């Protein structure tokens, strides 16, 4: 088992670096040149302990298995053209976002349009049925939003219980069980800026309530993260953990049925000072014996409503919650930069 640790200086993207020999040795000895075209060719996690790469969480004694980031981000790029644009760079600003994407579908598949309405926030919804022969459809929502582009605050609508319940009344609890102790370890494993700057990473847990149509409570155990990029773009992502990670689940007398997010990502690209494009990709299996034709419409409508709830938050303007957060964030960033200027002055 390969364990990542780091003692690198806390520097802003892309100035993160390490001069330690350990940091250099931790770079994978196998040169990987896989692209989105060859994604879905390798497992994301390794069941054999000797092949696993792990990093310590903030909970003493709890290690988090790190995925094969090249394989994982290759999968995201294969299904999300906007995510591919984010990672490749050069797609923000006027004329960027959806206007600049390469809409090539994953190899061997074709997107089916579910809904198109340019006058709505969510102006396009598409699907690929039985993607990768896993059963549930891969769904994709495209929205053009008003307001500043901010990955961490957008992620709150997925990861914060209060904000999540505003559009997903069936959710009972969403929490980050095991955040990683040092984000530098994640950035080392990802290849120092190859996939942006990882600003959040950890194991999350989701528990849902019983659904009125007869769906019993579900639980999920996911590895989730947020990547920020130099042009202001962000990528929010997640994938279900495997059975050998079940020891990380919260203790319960009786385990609910396990739902699984085979793939989840939200790509955000600023298209102006106060506008951004968002592409949400999700393949969710409810578990149990529920037919996918019954559960897919529930997912489709829920995520569409999320954008409707998020839009007023991002477009609130001066004095709004996001505006106050951005002002405080700027103050803290300036303090951090001032401190660095003192520390690095000869």
Which residues make Cβ contacts (< 8 Å) with residue 44, sequence separation at least 6?
67, 68, 71, 72, 75, 239
Q: Which structure tokens are listed for 130?
A: 């039985």
Question: What is the topology classification, in CATH, of domain 2-315?
Answer: Alpha-D-Glucose-1,6-Bisphosphate; Chain A, domain 4 (3.30.530)
SS3 322: helix
Average pLDDT, the chain: 88
Least confident of 170-184, 253-267, 329-343: 329-343
| In the predicted structure, residue 221 carries a pLDDT above the cut 80 | yes
Whole-number pLDDT of residue 290 = 85
Whole-number pLDDT of residue 4 = 57
pLDDT band at 20 (very low <50, low <70, confident <90, very high): very low
pLDDT mean over 90-104: 94
The phi and psi torsions of 49 (rounded to 5 degrees) equal -55, -35
| In the predicted structure, residue 192 carries a pLDDT above the cut 90 | no
pLDDT mean over 302-312: 97
Sign of the alpha-carbon dihedral angle for 40, 42, 48, 52? negative
Q: Which structure tokens are listed for 278?
A: 């968002």
**Domain locations in the chain as residue ranges:** 2-315, 319-346
pLDDT mean over 91-109: 93
In angstroms, the first-to-last Cα distance of the chain is 41
The number of beta carbons lying within 10 Å of the beta carbon of residue 98 is 20
Helix axis angle, 151-159 relative to 292-314, nearest 10°? 140
Whole-number pLDDT of residue 346 = 55
List the beta bridge partners of residue 54: 3, 65
More confident of the two residues 198 and 5? 198
The beta strands (E) that lie in the chain are given as 2-3, 53-56, 63-66, 112-116, 122-128, 138-146, 171-179, 197-208, 218-228, 234-240, 257-258, 260-272, 275-285
Whole-number pLDDT of residue 6 = 46
Least confident of 150-154, 271-275, 288-292, 306-310: 288-292
pLDDT band at 345 (very low <50, low <70, confident <90, very high): low
**How many whole angstroms separate alpha carbon 123 and alpha carbon 98?**
11
* pLDDT single digits (tens) 3-13: 655 433 334 33
pLDDT mean over 315-333: 93
pLDDT band at 22 (very low <50, low <70, confident <90, very high): very low
| In the predicted structure, residue 301 carries a pLDDT above the cut 50 | yes
Whole-number pLDDT of residue 337 = 67
Whole-number pLDDT of residue 272 = 95
Using an 8 Å Cβ cutoff, are 183 and 307 in contact? no
pLDDT mean over 126-148: 96
CA distances (Å), 209 to each of 163, 283, 305, in order? 16, 20, 18
Going by C-alpha positions, the residue among 92, 64, 109, 67 that lies closest to residue 281 is 109
Cα torsion for 196, 200, 202, 207, to the nearest 10°? -110
Numbers of helices and strands, H then E, in the chain: 8, 13
Cα torsion for 18, 23, 24, 25, to the nearest 10°? 170
**How many whole angstroms separate alpha carbon 130 and alpha carbon 139?**
11
Whole-number pLDDT of residue 86 = 97
Share of the chain above pLDDT 70, in %: 86
Whole-number pLDDT of residue 289 = 85
SS3 236: strand
| In the predicted structure, residue 175 carries a pLDDT above the cut 60 | yes
């Amino acid at each position: 088992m390969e364990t990542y640790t780091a003692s690198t200086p806390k520097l802003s993207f892309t100035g993160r670096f390490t001069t330690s020999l350990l940091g250099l040795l931790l770079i994978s000895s196998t040169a990987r040149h896989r692209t989105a075209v060859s994604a879905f060719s390798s497992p994301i996690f390794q069941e054999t302990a000797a092949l696993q790469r792990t990093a310590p969480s903030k909970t003493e004694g709890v290690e988090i298995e790190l995925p094969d980031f090249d394989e994982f981000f290759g999968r995201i790029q294969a299904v999300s053209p906007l995510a591919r644009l984010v990672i490749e760079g050069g797609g923000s600003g006027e004329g960027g976002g959806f206007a600049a994407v390469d809409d090539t579908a994953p190899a061997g598949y074709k997107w089916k349009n579910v809904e198109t309405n340019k006058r709505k926030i969510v102006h396009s919804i598409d699907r690929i049925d039985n993607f990768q022969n896993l059963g549930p459809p891969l769904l994709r929502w495209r929205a053009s939003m008003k307001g500043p582009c901010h990955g961490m605050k957008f992620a709150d609508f997925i990861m914060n219980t209060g904000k999540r319940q505003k559009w997903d009344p069936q959710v009972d609890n969403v929490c980050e069980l095991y955040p990683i102790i040092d984000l530098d370890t994640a950035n080392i494993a990802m290849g120092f800026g190859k996939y942006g700057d990882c600003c959040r990473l950890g194991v999350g847990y989701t528990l849902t309530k019983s659904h009125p149509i007869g769906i019993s409570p579900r639980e999920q155990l996911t590895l989730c993260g947020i990547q920020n990029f130099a042009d202001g773009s962000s990528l929010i992502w997640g994938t279900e953990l495997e059975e050998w990670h079940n020891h990380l689940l919260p203790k319960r007398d009786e385990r609910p049925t396990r739902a699984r997010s085979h793939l989840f990502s939200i790509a955000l690209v600023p298209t102006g000072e106060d506008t951004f494009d968002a592409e949400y990709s999700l393949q969710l299996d409810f578990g149990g014996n529920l037919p996918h034709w019954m559960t897919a419409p529930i997912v489709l409508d829920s995520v569409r409503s999320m954008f409707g709830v998020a839009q007023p938050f991002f477009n609130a303007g001066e004095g709004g919650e996001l505006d106050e957060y951005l002002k405080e964030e700027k103050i803290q960033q300036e303090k951090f930069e001032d401190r660095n200027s003192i520390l690095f002055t000869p």
